[in-house]
Structure 1
Amino acid sequence: MKTFYTLIILFLFTVSIHAQIDSKKKSLSIPAVENEKDSLDASPIVPLKSITSGNNNALNSPKSTVNLKTPKKEFSMFGEKFGNPGELYKDRFKKHENSIKEQEGLGTKGSKIDVFFGDHRTKSKHARVMYRDYGLEDGDIIRVSVNDEILEYRVGLINAFRGFKIELKEGVNKIEFLALNEGYALPNTAHFRVVDDNNNIIAADMWALSINVKGTVNIIKE
């Protein structure tokens, strides 16, 4: 039995030695070979220089702006004053209206100075002042005063006579007609009459006035 174990041990020993010899024979070392072509250039990288030239077509780097000006006044919704939109529309409409009048040859032909219609005498205690637009009914407006007292502050002229009755004082009774506008067919045109208690005409005339021009007639009670 011992002989059997001895043979097994010798067999394993022999196999181990043979394996080590084969292992030594199969190992092969290859020496490294240096190649100049494969060597890397380890020189430091130098940045490219900027292109500078006297030629106007040369590329130059942009210059930085250092003096930036800020607005002198900041915008604020609370500190601003806004105009009236209605006034702006009114001004535009007026310019458009004047342009149409110029194109149609409707420039003002009325008197630009106050007109005096004379002194007229009567023995009547009362008088009736009447007025109408003798031309186109175009929206002419007047103000009527008697002895510097406004009796008709703003009255429109139509093609029919209308007016008011006054009591005449002794002496001069001054009646004034002021043109407040010129309508859309210039100028302000009207026909007036002043009649007595018996409907007799004391004074009558017609006017063609520019805006803010007045016509005056004096009725003298005797």
Structure 2
Amino acid sequence: MKRFLFFIIIIGLSSKAFGQIEFKPKFKAIKPQTTIAKPKKEKDIPPPTNFAKLDLPKIVAPNVLKETNIFGTKPKPDNSFEIGTPENHFSMTPKNKFEHKLGDVYQDKMTKDLSKTMIREGLKEDKSLLDRVDRYLGEYRTKSEYFTVKYRDYIVIDGDLINVYLNGKLLRSGLYLNSEFGEFRIPLNLGLNDIEFVVASMGTSGGNTAELHVLDDVNRDITTEYWNNLALGVKIKMIVIRE
């Protein structure tokens, strides 16, 4: 009986020993690594290739000077704030709106008064009273081969000029009317001679003024004429018939 119990105990201990060996873990745990991961640089990150390309419109600021408003019109540019442009009238210095105006008024008045005084004293012609009427000196018959014309300005030497025509053709151009007499000859054709003295310049102080003497070939006086304040283009005409 004792042997049987001993045998049972031995078998139980053996099975327990085998069981512990069978269920004992067969692996060994691995310790985790302690290395620190370095962050990747931007150049090391490859560009994404799996995203669809988006076609986004370009953002442009609106141009308020080109866009039309609700009325269909474009606003006018206001560059009054720009410095250095011809249209810029901005200034930090206040200005008097009557600046220079008073002086201009007095200057104009003095000029008009001086002009009236010169006209009254006979030193200047009055342009407001210009004579624009052509003149006719008459018809003359003669046996002279030529006429002598003496001319001058008897008031103010200011650049008065006259042109002389014979039968429509220019005979003398730009005769200057000086204080001293100038003279020239007009050859006369047999028959009709149409002579015209035409105002070519009024000078600087008013209308054209002149003193004119016409003489035959033996210095006999044919006609004498004075004119004053003639307008540009006025004609003084005479007819001479050579027999």
Residue 104, structure 1, aligned to residue 123, structure 2: no
Partner of 2:207: 187
Alpha-carbon offset, residue 103 of structure 1: 6.0
Partner of 1:155: 175
4+ residue stretches of structure 1 with deviation over 4 A?
99-103
Partner of 1:69: 66
Partner of 2:227: 207
Residue 166, structure 1, aligned to residue 197, structure 2: no
How many pairs does the alignment contain? Answer: 134
SS of the equivalent of 1:180 reads strand
Partner Cα separation in structure 2 for residue 166 and residue 66 of structure 1: 78
Task: Give, as a single letter, the amino acid of the residue that structure 2 aligns with 1:114.
Answer: D
Residue 133, structure 1, aligned to residue 130, structure 2: no
What is the percentage of aligned positions where both structures have the same residue?
35
The structure-2 alpha-carbon separation of the partners of 1:102 and 1:176, relative to structure 1 and needing over 3 Å to count, comes to: farther
SS of the equivalent of 2:202 reads coil
Residue 216, structure 1, aligned to residue 237, structure 2: yes
- Contact 1:121–1:202 under 8 Å retained in 2: no
* TM-score, normalised relative to structure 2: 0.48
Alpha-carbon deviations, 1:77-111, whole Å to 9, x = none? Answer: xxxxxxxxxxxxxxxxxxxxxx9578613532332
Higher relative contact order (CA 8 A, sep 6+): 1
Partner Cα separation in structure 2 for residue 118 and residue 100 of structure 1: 41
Partner Cα separation in structure 2 for residue 178 and residue 101 of structure 1: 30
What are the within-5 Å matches in structure 2 for residues 112-123 of structure 1? 112-123=132-143
> Which 5+ residue runs of structure 1 have no aligned equivalent?
1-63, 72-98
SS of the equivalent of 1:104 reads helix
Alpha-carbon offset, residue 210 of structure 1: 0.9
* TM-score, normalised relative to structure 1: 0.53
Alpha-carbon offset, residue 140 of structure 1: 0.7
Alpha-carbon deviations, 1:102-121, whole Å to 9, x = none? Answer: 86135323321211111122
